[in-house]
Amino acid sequence: MANLILMAGVFLFSFVLGYILISRIPTLLHTPLMSMTNAISAVTVLGVLILFSIASTPAEIITGSIALVMAAFNLVGGFAITDRMLRLFKKKDT
């Protein structure tokens, strides 16, 4: 139970801190920031996989599953947007 409270506290702290930091970023810097959040999401996915490799309580499994889904959604969305932006800079073959 203490681990669950610790994980919830870390999640809440990181959510508030992330919101404060991201809200102060100028719009021009959102693209580099997106690549950083993709890296953070990749670390989250690895952390969840490590969590799933050891015996866990049902609450930890549910929390880890939610984190895995959210991080995977961010990764896929970030790569899709980056691909779309890169296509804007390609020369058209006409």
Contacts (Cβ under 8 Å, ≥6 apart) of 50: none
- What average pLDDT does the chain have? 79
User: Looking at the whole model, is its pTM more than 0.85?
Assistant: no
pLDDT at position 27 is 67
Distance, CA of 52 to CA of 26 (rounded, Å):
37
pLDDT at position 33 is 66
CB 60 within 8 A of CB 7: yes
Residue owning tokens 């139970």: 1
pLDDT per residue over 39-70, tens digit each?
A: 778 888 888 888 788 877 888 888 888 888 88
Q: Which of 3, 9, 11 is nearest to 51 (CA)?
A: 3
